[in-house]
Structure 1
Amino acid sequence: MAFDADDEILQDFLVEAGEILEKLSEQLVDLEQHPDDGDLLNAIFRGFHTVKGGAGFLQLEALVNCCHSAENVFDILRNHKRKVDPELMDVVLEALDYVNTMFEQVRNREELTPAPDELIAALDALAQPQGAEPASRAPEASSEPAEPGPASGDITDEEFEQLLDALHGQASDAGADSRSKPEREPPADSSDGSGSSSSDEITDEEFEALLDELHGKGKFAAKPAANTGAGATDTAGPAAKGDDDLITDDEFEKLLDELHGKGGSPTTGHSANEPAEAPRQNPGPVQPASETKPEPKPATDTAAKKAAPASPARDSAPAAETTVRVDTKRLDDIMNMVGELVLVRNRLQRLGSESENEHMHKAVSSLDVVTTDLQAAVMQTRMQPIKKVFGRFPRVVRDLARGMKKEVNLVMHGEDTDLDKNLVEALSDPLVHLVRNSVDHGIEAPDVREKAGKPRQGTVTLSAEQEGDHILLSIADDGAGMDPEVLRRKAVEKGIYDQDAADRLTDTECFNLIFAAGFSTKEQISDVSGRGVGMDVVKTKISQLNGQLSIESAPGKGSRIIIKVPLTLAIMPTLMIMLGDQSFALPLVNVVEIFHLDLTRTNIVDGRECIVVRDRVFPLFHIKRWLVKGAAGKAEPENGHVVIVAMGTRQVGFVVDQLVGQEEVVIKPLGRGLQGTPGMAGATITGDGRIALIIDVPSLLQHYS
């Protein structure tokens, strides 16, 4: 393992390989659904090949070996010598798990844990043509040692001699095919052969012959030169020299593939394995040597055409560099500075509103526009597509459905929807719980679905879309749905509600019971679900993100869970309120509606003060008694403002003294002395220069109510 390499090279490998491995999991599951997709097979082959190349450069032997064995499997698949089936995908996905594990070890600068020998052996077995006997492949295997080649980045002397043998073997084959015209062979090929046998250096003609093997005859001028002699060399020389003096990266990589790949030497690629090379090479130019004699001119034309676009492409490459890699800490620092600018803007707006100077108003308005645009631009740099989260679900659904013997199809929409990188990371675990829950609880077994008149294959739909400054995430299934009566009965059995209270629950409130701690409808506990822990974790996490949860379900038709979260957590829109003479900020995402209320017209339900609004009952809380010292013993006013806030799936009313208005705030962490204060998410500076505490609605209710 060579972690002493240039750190910049290692970081480049981590970035490139990380992106490839993220895609591979989704591509492999997609391939199982579309086994005949040639483009997908080639993309997966290239993915393993690229990771193998980078790992070989860093001398990560264990990673190279695993990727190489997987690459061989897809080489066989794309050459149509084996079919994709679930058993093959099980082995390949297990190999990908080990590749991901080793990749994380590289990221953490740890010693690599090689894949088990049994897994490598299983991959090597799948890299054989379907139904082929090992003995039938023995001659090919003996012609070139394929195993040690990929593990090292350098070509050995033995392999180089085999390359020369391949070139001369081709000459011998050509001579055998045209024994009726022996006078054509000795002038070129026999002299090359004698030269090679007496010298360790490869001649220009031999090297050009090798390029012809790779690209097909007719594209380079070496073969026509063997037909006549000086005349053909003069014709091809000027045109070919400009293009053949330098070998391109693609040509060199193909040369290494010829040496190290399972296809063996160029001789076998030209004769015995010609059908295997057909998908990668254009079979047209690969003709017997006799067909190349009358075509020296097209060879020079082809070389000239190939040379023409080569130089502009190299000249324009630097101009295509339009991206730059930036440490996320720098983006966080810039975002913090923009947050401070927002606070200054708020302060100036408040001062400007108190001034009658027209120029002041214009300057403050201009500052507001620039600050808003800057804030949006900086937030955009922190945005990532939610596909980074969605990309892992095809594998999750595939493995879970296969383990539970269900047939499930995952459909995803809105994968390009952008949201803050911190939210992308925070939403990963809750969404995994919800998707697993849909497959486990929602989708029925194929036989059950068939009896109910449904397709045997169930569908789980995962979608994302932007709505204003929020993201809506939806997880839906066409499974069994939820029965409110069953949920009521379970709530009574577990002591969450008594029978009378359970009977008064609406269907929506019954659906929300699945988020209660320890609540589960599973009769048997499995390694997937049944302990009543996962959905409680989901609710807690979404609440921490200032998000909301809602559920729709119909028995026999399926369920749909909707999550609403803000685009970013760095700058938060809030509703500023006053409790006594102290300022507080309520996250606007929690605010449902505001109205003025006669506080003498309240009701007591189950021992709790409530209000009725449009035939709906809301619990009422005087949060001033909790948050303002000395307010508990004072007489309450007869009228007050009530703010209806949502906490996950529950809505309650907060009584406040005064409504100040909407304001964007920057969350600042509380000092050491105040850290952990119940009901407080942080603090901010208001437009009038005051310090306001930001209320954490779920924590506030959990602690005080």
Structure 2
Amino acid sequence: MDMNHYLEVFIDESKEHLQALNENLLMLEKQPEDLGVMNEIFRAAHTLKGMSATMGYNDLAVLTHMMENVLDGIRNDKIQVTTTLLDVIFLAVDHLEAMIDSIEAGEDGKRDVTDVIDKLQLLEKGLHPEEHQTAQEIAATATNMNTSSSLQYDQYERTIIEQSREQGYECFEMKVHLIPDCVLKTARVFMVFEVLEKSGDVIKSLPSVEQLEEEQFGSEFTAALITKDSKADLEKKIMKISEIEAVQIQAVDLTHQHKLENTTDNKKLESSHLDKKSGSTSKTKKKQAKTASKTIRVNIDKLDILMNLFEELVIDKGRLEQISQNINHADLNETVERMSRISGDLQNIILNMRMVPVETVFNRFPKMVRQLAKDLNKKLELHIIGAETELDRTVIDEIGDPIVHLLRNAIDHGIENPEVRLASGKAETGKINLKAYHSGNHVFIEIADDGAGINKQKIINKAIAKEIITSSEADLLTDEQAFDLIMAPGFSTADTISDVSGRGVGLDVVKSTIQSLGGSISITSAEGKGSTFSIQLPLTLSIISALLVEVGNEKYAIPLSSIIETAIIKSSDIMTAHNQPVIDFRGSVVPLVSLQEVFHVENEDEHDSEFVSIVIVRKAEKTAALAVESFIGQQEIVLKSLGNYLTEVFAISGATILGDGQVALIVDCNALIK
């Protein structure tokens, strides 16, 4: 069977199982007695092991199997959940993730995991290895232990062992430790197996014979032998071989063995056992199976092609609507109207297919925060809010790295050390809120910490020293303008640059990435209280509803999501405040912005008019009135980039092609309000 056909599915499902492991392990750390969480962890590891073995990735399967043994001990109350234990399991998951990444990159997925396997074996035996222990120390510790079997036997192997004992034979499990600097390990393994085969029949080994032949193991291996020789005789024969450091021999105790679920019946039995423990019902399982059968995986490239074709359809639909209006034929008008409704429904379906919850990005951060907090000796709580908020897949793929950088900055230089926090009257545990929410046609992502905040004067002094601004300009800066300076290339206020990050280092990259997505980033901070980085992103990068307006001799599109309402006011109602034209909008003073002046549009028919057409737009709590010449009407438009040569055009987020072939620029209302 050609397994390459299933490779993409294997990678996708493996990532899902690894994410489930990460999430549930974090939950287990907080709720070590929760059997339901433990069963979910075991199920994910077990499934990943089976998939890996089926696809032929033995290193991945062996590591997952060793991890599964520890998890099985936890759920059977033989091993206690501790921080040290979870550190080792997280380390194993990190190795698994690296293997999957290797496979995804077209490599073989092989990795040296000797150290973590040694630690997992100690955990299985009830010890808690420290991170600094070497494989040699672990092996030496294990030598002095009277341990239970580390191999697991399927039904066929169990039957052989039982029948052999009835005929006077015994089954021994031998764990052979080679000296740390052993050369030609495979040759030593061959010599050991030669001795064993003269004494009886080897029925199982760990790692497998193939892995042993390819030297894919650390400093130890285990073999099960059916023989009539005694333990003492076997030990004497094996220890005669040079470069053997120690050997542990024990009789196999089948009463403490857990069967490997290699058959369908065994898998069903285990699944039933797990569901019974976690309170699941057969009705729920049937419902889940039914839901799963209605789900398929679609390559994102295919969705991109579908979206591009639909964009062309939207442009042609606009052209057809214009022709219909000019001809004014009843049947044609009816057909075009029906086509518009159908294309609108089709658009919603395509856009929803591309929308992905931001939790696909957010769910990797708790584990990262946990590890960084340990590395920096800080106490941290990460609160994720609005993870169900959806974004276009193309935006999701790009936003992960900027958020990682902002989180690392917040942890390293935002949150203070516990003793500093206590001295300043704060709780020793710092808090970081990662929040996502919709607002109009945009998604906002906020990273807020209750740390030390940003020192405005320190930023200004550094900016003056780097000749980014002058002293006279510094006096006029608002807080927000001062904080924006830290996103200048190479700007940093950090006294020392750590391995994690320095607040300000690399923020120019964060800013440019977000701007390339059509978004923006702003900073607010109160010294001693904390900082908030707010990222604004477009909901989608493709099709939006907009109001077409005329400004002079040109047409512009204003996104409907930013519009509160439209109106026509008298020119005499326009007032002036702080040298800025304003109007009275429902009892509030709203600034009036002339698009003709902002975009320097020429108007051949320019004359004083008694009335002015305005569009009231909003960004968060701020509003503004945009003065235009006339309204054309609402239309679905395809948002197109201005290209690499026009990257920073003020208040223009893109362009669209209208039905008559004309190009209309799309107004960025947020920039105008700011």
- Is the TM value for this pair above 0.5? yes
* 1:382 pairs with 2:354: yes
Whether the aligned pair in 2 keeps the contact of 1:73 and 1:127 (CA below 8 Å) is yes
Given the superposition, is the C-alpha separation of residues 638 and 122 from structure 1 closer, same or farther in structure 2, using an over 3 Å criterion? farther
Whether the aligned pair in 1 keeps the contact of 2:122 and 2:128 (CA below 8 Å) is no
- Among 392, 415, 428, the residue aligned to 1:420: 392
Whether the aligned pair in 2 keeps the contact of 1:81 and 1:130 (CA below 8 Å) is no
- Among 21, 26, 37, the residue aligned to 1:24: 21
User: What secondary structure does 1:88 align onto?
Assistant: helix
Query: Hey, what does 2:148 align to over in structure 1?
Result: 140
Query: Hey, what does 1:94 align to over in structure 2?
Result: 91
* 1:333 pairs with 2:305: yes
Comparing 6-15 and 45-54, the one that deviates more? 6-15
Given the superposition, is the C-alpha separation of residues 269 and 263 from structure 1 closer, same or farther in structure 2, using an over 3 Å criterion? farther
Whether the aligned pair in 2 keeps the contact of 1:343 and 1:685 (CA below 8 Å) is yes
Comparing 337-346 and 385-394, the one that deviates more? 337-346
Query: Hey, what does 2:113 align to over in structure 1?
Result: 116
The RMSD of aligned alpha carbons is 4.9
CA distance, structure 2, for counterparts of residue 507 and residue 29 of structure 1: 38
Whether the aligned pair in 2 keeps the contact of 1:623 and 1:654 (CA below 8 Å) is no
Which 5+ residue runs of structure 1 have no aligned equivalent?
A: 170-261, 271-279, 286-308, 701-705
CA distance, structure 1, for counterparts of residue 287 and residue 376 of structure 2: 56
Whether the aligned pair in 2 keeps the contact of 1:405 and 1:445 (CA below 8 Å) is yes
User: What secondary structure does 1:140 align onto?
Assistant: coil
- Among 485, 497, 506, the residue aligned to 2:469: 497
Whether the aligned pair in 2 keeps the contact of 1:574 and 1:662 (CA below 8 Å) is yes
Deviation at 1:340, TM superposition (A): 2.4
Query: Hey, what does 2:456 align to over in structure 1?
Result: 484
Given the superposition, is the C-alpha separation of residues 139 and 669 from structure 1 closer, same or farther in structure 2, using an over 3 Å criterion? closer
* Deviation sequence 1:523-549 (CA, Å, 0-9, x none): 111122237343222222222222233
Query: Hey, what does 1:173 align to over in structure 2?
Result: none
CA distance, structure 2, for counterparts of residue 319 and residue 505 of structure 1: 56
CA distance, structure 1, for counterparts of residue 8 and residue 328 of structure 2: 57
Which AA in structure 2 matches 1:425?
D
* Deviation sequence 1:299-327 (CA, Å, 0-9, x none): xxxxxxxxxx999x999967972222223
* Deviation sequence 1:110-146 (CA, Å, 0-9, x none): 12232332222122122211489746864633xxx61
Whether the aligned pair in 2 keeps the contact of 1:76 and 1:129 (CA below 8 Å) is no
Given the superposition, is the C-alpha separation of residues 166 and 467 from structure 1 closer, same or farther in structure 2, using an over 3 Å criterion? farther
CA distance, structure 2, for counterparts of residue 458 and residue 576 of structure 1: 48
Query: Hey, what does 1:407 align to over in structure 2?
Result: 379
Query: Hey, what does 2:176 align to over in structure 1?
Result: none
Query: Hey, what does 2:521 align to over in structure 1?
Result: 549
Query: Hey, what does 2:48 align to over in structure 1?
Result: 51
TM-score by length of 2: 0.67
* 1:268 pairs with 2:252: no
Deviation at 1:647, TM superposition (A): 12
* 1:525 pairs with 2:491: no
Which AA in structure 2 matches 1:507?
D
Query: Hey, what does 2:315 align to over in structure 1?
Result: 343
Query: Hey, what does 2:160 align to over in structure 1?
Result: 161
Structure number having the greater helix percentage: 1
CA distance, structure 1, for counterparts of residue 388 and residue 78 of structure 2: 36
Whether the aligned pair in 1 keeps the contact of 2:656 and 2:663 (CA below 8 Å) is yes
Deviation at 1:571, TM superposition (A): 1.2
Deviation at 1:550, TM superposition (A): 3.3
Q: Which aligned pairs between 1:193-212 and structure 2 lie closer than 5 A?
A: none
CA distance, structure 1, for counterparts of residue 554 and residue 563 of structure 2: 20
CA distance, structure 2, for counterparts of residue 466 and residue 683 of structure 1: 23
Whether the aligned pair in 2 keeps the contact of 1:621 and 1:654 (CA below 8 Å) is no
Query: Hey, what does 2:79 align to over in structure 1?
Result: 82
Given the superposition, is the C-alpha separation of residues 78 and 167 from structure 1 closer, same or farther in structure 2, using an over 3 Å criterion? farther
Percent of pairs with identical residues: 35
Q: Which aligned pairs between 1:105-254 and structure 2 lie closer than 5 A?
A: 105-130=102-127, 134=142, 138=146, 140-141=148-149, 146=151, 160-164=159-163
Query: Hey, what does 1:61 align to over in structure 2?
Result: 58
* Deviation sequence 1:505-535 (CA, Å, 0-9, x none): 2223233333333332211111222373432
Which AA in structure 2 matches 1:33?
K
Whether the aligned pair in 2 keeps the contact of 1:679 and 1:697 (CA below 8 Å) is no
Whether the aligned pair in 2 keeps the contact of 1:543 and 1:698 (CA below 8 Å) is no
User: What secondary structure does 1:412 align onto?
Assistant: strand
Which AA in structure 2 matches 1:451?
A
Deviation at 1:445, TM superposition (A): 1.0
User: What secondary structure does 1:381 align onto?
Assistant: helix
CA distance, structure 2, for counterparts of residue 23 and residue 570 of structure 1: 32
Comparing 481-490 and 10-19, the one that deviates more? 481-490
Comparing 92-101 and 582-591, the one that deviates more? 582-591
* 1:34 pairs with 2:24: no
Whether the aligned pair in 1 keeps the contact of 2:355 and 2:393 (CA below 8 Å) is yes
TM-score by length of 1: 0.65
* Deviation sequence 1:259-295 (CA, Å, 0-9, x none): xxx996543359xxxxxxxxx999xx9xxxxxxxxxx
Q: Which aligned pairs between 1:575-590 and structure 2 lie closer than 5 A?
A: 576=548, 581=553, 583=555
CA distance, structure 1, for counterparts of residue 51 and residue 251 of structure 2: 22
* 1:372 pairs with 2:344: yes
Given the superposition, is the C-alpha separation of residues 567 and 131 from structure 1 closer, same or farther in structure 2, using an over 3 Å criterion? closer
Query: Hey, what does 1:516 align to over in structure 2?
Result: 488
Given the superposition, is the C-alpha separation of residues 127 and 621 from structure 1 closer, same or farther in structure 2, using an over 3 Å criterion? farther
* 1:15 pairs with 2:12: yes
CA distance, structure 2, for counterparts of residue 161 and residue 459 of structure 1: 58
Query: Hey, what does 1:296 align to over in structure 2?
Result: none
User: What secondary structure does 2:451 align onto?
Assistant: coil
CA distance, structure 2, for counterparts of residue 448 and residue 619 of structure 1: 51
Query: Hey, what does 1:438 align to over in structure 2?
Result: 410
Which AA in structure 1 matches 2:148?
E
Given the superposition, is the C-alpha separation of residues 572 and 320 from structure 1 closer, same or farther in structure 2, using an over 3 Å criterion? closer
Query: Hey, what does 1:298 align to over in structure 2?
Result: none
* Deviation sequence 1:352-396 (CA, Å, 0-9, x none): 555666665555444333222221111111121211100110012
User: What secondary structure does 1:450 align onto?
Assistant: helix
Query: Hey, what does 2:446 align to over in structure 1?
Result: 474
Deviation at 1:457, TM superposition (A): 0.7
CA distance, structure 2, for counterparts of residue 65 and residue 46 of structure 1: 16
CA distance, structure 2, for counterparts of residue 310 and residue 532 of structure 1: 54
Whether the aligned pair in 1 keeps the contact of 2:546 and 2:557 (CA below 8 Å) is yes
Given the superposition, is the C-alpha separation of residues 675 and 493 from structure 1 closer, same or farther in structure 2, using an over 3 Å criterion? closer
CA distance, structure 2, for counterparts of residue 310 and residue 53 of structure 1: 23
CA distance, structure 1, for counterparts of residue 541 and residue 335 of structure 2: 29
Query: Hey, what does 1:392 align to over in structure 2?
Result: 364
Whether the aligned pair in 1 keeps the contact of 2:460 and 2:482 (CA below 8 Å) is yes
User: What secondary structure does 2:148 align onto?
Assistant: helix
Which AA in structure 2 matches 1:58?
M
- Higher radius of gyration, 1 or 2: 1
Deviation at 1:83, TM superposition (A): 3.2
Given the superposition, is the C-alpha separation of residues 340 and 93 from structure 1 closer, same or farther in structure 2, using an over 3 Å criterion? same
Given the superposition, is the C-alpha separation of residues 315 and 353 from structure 1 closer, same or farther in structure 2, using an over 3 Å criterion? closer
